[in-house]
Amino acid sequence: MQKLPKAVRRLIEKFEALPGIGPKSAQRLVFYLLHTPEVHLADFADKLLALKRETVMCHLCHNVAEQDPCDICQDKQRDQEILCVVEQPLDLLAIERSGKYLGNYHVLHGSIAPLNNIGPDQLYLRDIAKRMKNSSGELQIKELILATNPTMEGEATALYIAELLKNDNFFAEKIESGELSITRIGHGLPIGADIEYADGVTLARALEGRRSL
């Protein structure tokens, strides 16, 4: 590694920092790019810069979009009384592909993982309660679907959100009266799997088989 040009070493280090990319994969990618025509590299670099320049985060659902609010939050045809909580924007896309859900979303951008020093404050978690009320402070969400991944971290996050709402007097009363239900995505997804990689049929069954918490 020490005999490689500095430019090559620096780029390998950047690729190694990406999730799922090991040292060997990083080296292969860099040497592939090294033999790519400069015009293609320039286009590749421009696309990387556009990733930040031409995307925004929706201030309502925290999805990555081209405009704020995003297309989903602006769509009044969607069921405004259902809110689905997911870990990542890719999970949102996967559920949309199932074609079985027509409500709104809330993207956490992660899950509670103490071993990785990720707590509730590192996620878009505490503003869920605000989204469940209208401007007059009245309940506007009738069902909150917790569609975090069926992993230890995902389960912990779902339970944390449920307990957070159940410990709030306003929401506790609504849950007790039946005005609000908190459901967990069903077991159409195998334990340990990520929503991002699930097929549409599996996700449809998971949504249809959601249960109360």
Structural domain includes residue 57? no
SS3 assignment for the chain: CCCCCHHHHHHHHHHHCCCCCCHHHHHHHHHHHHCCCHHHHHHHHHHHHHHHHCCEECCCCCCEECCCCCHHHHCCCCEEEEEEEECCHHHHHHHHHHCCCCEEEEECCCCCEHHHCECHHHCCCCCHHHHCECCCCCECCCEEEECCCCCHHHHHHHHHHHHHHHCCHHHHHHHHHCCCEEEECCCCCCCCCCHHHCCHHHHHHHHHCCEEC
Last residue of a domain, one of 52, 67, 88: 52
Number of domains in the chain: 2
Structural domain includes residue 70? no
> Band of the pLDDT at 194, cuts 50, 70, 90?
confident
> Band of the pLDDT at 187, cuts 50, 70, 90?
low
- Average pLDDT on 128-143 reads 95
pLDDT of residue 201: 67
12 and 116 belong to one structural domain = no
pLDDT of residue 2: 59
Percentage of the chain beyond pLDDT 90 is: 78
Q: pTM value?
A: 0.81
> Domain holding 87: CATH number?
3.40.1360.10
129 and 174 belong to one structural domain = yes
- Per the structure, the complete domain to which residue 38 belongs is given by 6-52
Structural domain includes residue 148? yes
91 and 179 belong to one structural domain = yes
CA-CA-CA-CA dihedral for 76, 106, 57, 127, to nearest 10: 110
